[in-house]
Amino acid sequence: MSSDAQPSEPLLARLAPPLFVVIWATGFIVARLVAPYAEPLTFLLARYLLALLVLGIVVAVARAPWPRTGREWRNGLVAGILLHGFYLGGVFWSVKKGLPAGIMALIAGLQPLATAILSRPLLGERVSPRRWAGIAVGFLGAALVILPKLGDAQMPPAALAAGIFAMASITCGTIWQKRTAGEADLRVNAAIQYMGAALVTVPMVLLTEEGRMEPALPLLAGLAWAVLGLSIGAIGLLLYLIRRGAVVGVAALLYLVPPVAALMAYALFGETLNPVQVVGMAFAALGVAVASGGQTRGSPGGPR
């Protein structure tokens, strides 16, 4: 890294976690905004292809080198399949098949726990008691935020299985990214990831949907933000955070997503917030603060 880039890195390191949480939470708003105008997997495929186009232009302008070995291409494609194709595809498919969004969010909330369990054998990261405590408190907080929205929720077995599969996919994708992409150019790596995501989404669209997308203003606005804000901005921050630190601490940030998304829905759509949810927000924030307070040891490559 050149010396003129070094002073900006501490600022980015401080801003990256809250920016990631806020931008990631907008994904729920986008999903609600575009739902009447597009089939979910068709929308995701358009998002992947447009993100790939934008990143391809960025890589070309920057003259960043593409991988020279098949192994590097494989690593990026697998990360994209897991982090985007299987995760987002599984989430959207499960909700489409009748799994309430609150249940899906609760299942996704198990990711930090799954990451903590797998990080020691797969990455050599030791999870401290403090971080375990933060994970537990954060999950409790996220559950309290989601709980009032569940009601008499029905859980179709196939949709529930798809939701669990999606959670497992992003967990494995996060660990895979940490293991394999330590020195990869993040712009190139992200572009290859969207290639992988598109490859697995195309057959799902062909098998389950008709490719419906209505050119309405809410859809176009949602798609633009999904590409630039989520696929470029949020994913870029996620890859940066994974490279810098322990995956368990990064995963714990996701506990803040339900509270932030609930606040956005309250401001934009007039959704109610009851006292239980407010208490849950406080617990989620406390859990993330505790889980992020100590670094794990033994992480290959360490913070960069």
Residue 80 has pLDDT above 90, yes or no: yes
CB 89, CB 83: distance < 8 Å = no
Residue 282 has pLDDT above 50, yes or no: yes
What string of DSSP letters covers 112-135?
HHHHHHHHHHHH-PBPPHHHHHHH
pLDDT (tens digit per residue) in 205-237:
999 899 999 999 999 999 999 999 999 999 999
Say what the pLDDT of residue 298 is.
37
More reliable by pLDDT, 271 or 64: 64
The average confidence (pLDDT) of the chain is 84
Q: Is residue 4 part of a domain?
A: no
- Give the whole-angstrom CA distance, residue 171 versus residue 163: 13
pLDDT (tens digit per residue) in 102-156:
677 778 878 888 888 888 777 777 888 888 888 888 888 888 887 776 665 667 8
- Give the whole-angstrom CA distance, residue 262 versus residue 277: 9
Domain that holds residue 113: 21-291
Say what the pLDDT of residue 288 is.
85
> What is the widest separation between alpha-carbon atoms in the chain?
58
Say what the pLDDT of residue 153 is.
60
SS3 273: coil
106: nearest Cα among 44, 166, 158: 166
More reliable by pLDDT, 35 or 294: 35
Say what the pLDDT of residue 295 is.
46
Say what the pLDDT of residue 147 is.
76
More reliable by pLDDT, 217 or 96: 217
pLDDT (tens digit per residue) in 44-64:
999 999 999 999 999 999 999
Number of domain units in the chain: 1
CB 13, CB 244: distance < 8 Å = yes
Residue 245 has pLDDT above 80, yes or no: no
Say what the pLDDT of residue 217 is.
95
Residue 275 has pLDDT above 60, yes or no: yes
Say what the pLDDT of residue 291 is.
80
Q: Is residue 148 part of a domain?
A: yes
Q: Is residue 303 part of a domain?
A: no
Amino acid making up residue 20: F
DSSP character for 67?
P
Say what the pLDDT of residue 7 is.
45
Percentage above 90 pLDDT, the chain: 40
Say what the pLDDT of residue 270 is.
74
Q: Is residue 8 part of a domain?
A: no
Q: Decide: pTM greater than 0.85.
A: no
Say what the pLDDT of residue 4 is.
42
Beta bridge partners of 38: 213
CB 115, CB 175: distance < 8 Å = yes
